[in-house]
Amino acid sequence: MPKERVTDIVERLALPIVEAAGLELVDVEYKKEGANWYLRVFIDKPEGVDIDDCSRVSEQLSERLDEVDPIPNSYFLEVSSPGAERPLKKPSDFERAVGQYVHVSFYEPLNGQKALEGTLNRFDGESVELEVMLKGVRKTMVVPLDKVAAARLAVKL
């Protein structure tokens, strides 16, 4: 049986804490940057999170992580908002983003494009429909979800 990933363990520990605070657990990252490890937990709510939300979740999660001790090395815990360019990972993220401007990158080029930005018109669980501008022409593209490497909300410039 494969060893459980740190992010999966932390997600399982964080979820009840985040939900009890009336928040949504958006994502968990565990990354090494330079000599340090960072455990980042992203939370949100419809009206946005504030410093008190982040602080409350951080304190409770830190206590829970100390009890369970799932991470053998030292790390910095950061709890924050996902920001304006929130990642789209779960089906509910895509559903909520319909009608919004998004950035989608692909595992391999699709019609010569490695990434597209445009309005997410539709999500059916298996594909996304994007309205994009390519060479000054408005096009609608349907992209199978298994071709999407990453997706996020985007700020339209």
pLDDT (tens digit, 9 = 90+) per residue, 129-152?
A: 999 998 889 999 999 999 999 999
- Measured from the Cβ of residue 25, the count of other Cβ atoms closer than 10 Å reads 18
pLDDT (tens digit, 9 = 90+) per residue, 4-44?
A: 789 999 999 999 999 999 999 999 999 999 999 999 999 99
CA terminus-to-terminus distance, the chain = 47
Model pLDDT, residue 95: 94
CA gap 25, 18 in Å, rounded? 6
Model pLDDT, residue 1: 40
pLDDT (tens digit, 9 = 90+) per residue, 76-127?
A: 999 999 998 999 988 999 999 999 999 999 999 988 889 999 999 999 999 9
- 72 — pLDDT class (breaks 50, 70, 90): confident
Model pLDDT, residue 3: 56
- 75 — pLDDT class (breaks 50, 70, 90): very high
CA gap 94, 87 in Å, rounded? 9
Q: What is the mean pLDDT of residues 62-86?
A: 93
Q: What is the DSSP letter of 108?
A: E
pTM of the full structure: 0.80
Report yes or no: 103 and 154 within 8 Å, Cβ to Cβ: yes
CA gap 131, 116 in Å, rounded? 10
Q: What is the DSSP letter of 17?
A: H
What residue ranges define each of the domains in the chain, with the CATH number in brackets? 6-80 (3.30.300.70), 91-153 (2.30.30.180)
